[in-house]
Each structure stands twice: as structure tokens, then as C-alpha cells.
Structure 1
């Protein structure tokens, strides 16, 4: 199974998730969310595969989200506009992202990761 781990190295939750992967000896492809921000096509695929609400992909506690006033703007934006916005700045995306052949997880919840990977 191919595992893609998209993360931001300075993020404590990402570091915790990366350590969890190492502890469980799970091989993964590591990708920096800002240096290699997911494309519009990738994000559309992740979103559709996840079954989650698109809002779950936004880093709502991040500075960029707050600076852009997205709390009040997202509801009036189309799905395509939201996905384009996410693909324009990796700091807008909630992290880490874990992508496997049939699963997309947003954020790190140990129980969800265990279910998906172990």
C-alpha cells in the first residue's frame, strides 16, 4: 500500500503523526505542504475520496485563514473556488494529510490512523 504523508515540519501535530508512523514501521512518502502544495486536481481527488465536508480541509486555526477572513467568506464560495483557494497556499490546508489507495485522513487522530493503516 502506498502512503502519502503531507505535512509541515514545524507543526507539532505533524511531528507527532510522523513519529507515530515511524513507531508502527509504516513506510511513507513524505511531502512538504508548502514547498509542494497539493494541486487543484490532487485536492479535488482527496476531497472526493475522503467523504468529508470541504471545510474540514481548511486550517481554520491558521494565520492565513484568519487574515483572509475566510470564516465569513467560505459559505458564499463555490466548491471550485474553495478548492482553488486551498491549492494556492499550503498554509490554508489542515495538516497533516494522510493519503492511501482508498483513504484520505485530515489531521491526526491516532484511532483513525490505526484503523486505516494497521
Structure 2
């Protein structure tokens, strides 16, 4: 199984997730989420496969999220508008996002990784 890891190297959570994958010897390819963010189509697929609502893909603790006042603005947006916004700036996306093409995890929780990625 080879994973794709959308991550930002300066993100502490991303570093923990990558460390976990390396320690467990799980092969992965990484993609810099800011320099090369997932396209709207990729994001749509990731959201669908994750089973999570689109709003869970927003980096709510990020500076950009606060600057744009998204806490209140997201309430009025539909899914399509949210996907467009996420695709416009990798800093708005919660990270890391990890997928094997079928499963998707967002963020890093060791127990979730044990369940999903240690097969």
C-alpha cells in the first residue's frame, strides 16, 4: 500500500504524521499542500471518500481562515463554494490529508492512523 500525503513541512501535525508513517515503515509519496495544493476535483474526491463534511477540511486554526472571517462566512456557503475556496489556497486546508485512493484521513490522531493505515 502506498499513500499520498498532502502536507506542509513546517506544520507540526504534519511532521508527527510523517514521523508515524516512517516509524511504521508505511510507504508514502508526499505533496506540498501549499506549493502544489490539491485541485478542486481532487478535493471533491477526497471529501467524498472521507465521509466527512467539507467544513472538516478547513484549517480552522490557520491565520488565513481567521483573516477571511470564515468562521461566520462558511455558514452561508454551499459545498461547491467551500470546495472552490479550499482549492484556491493550500493554507486553508486542514492537514495532513492522507489517502490510498479508497480511504482518507484528515489531521493526525495516532489511534485513527493505527486503525486505517496499519493494515
Query: What is the Cα deviation at residue 101 of structure 1?
Result: 2.5
What is the match of residue 14 of structure 1?
Answer: 14
Measure, in 2, the Cα distance between the counterparts of 1:111 and 1:36: 28
What is the match of residue 116 of structure 2?
Answer: 116
How well do the aligned residues superpose, as a CA RMSD in angstroms?
A: 0.7
Deviation >4 Å, runs of 4+: none
Q: Which runs of 5+ in 2 are unaligned?
A: none
Measure, in 1, the Cα distance between the counterparts of 2:80 and 2:101: 24
Measure, in 1, the Cα distance between the counterparts of 2:78 and 2:117: 33
Q: TM-score, length-normalised on structure 1?
A: 0.97
What is the match of residue 84 of structure 1?
Answer: 84
What is the match of residue 32 of structure 1?
Answer: 32
Q: Which runs of 5+ in 1 are unaligned?
A: none
Q: TM-score, length-normalised on structure 2?
A: 0.97
Note the alpha carbon deviations across 1:39-71, whole angstroms, 9 max, x for none: 000000000110011111000000000000000
Q: How many residues align?
A: 118
SS of aligned partner of 2:10: coil
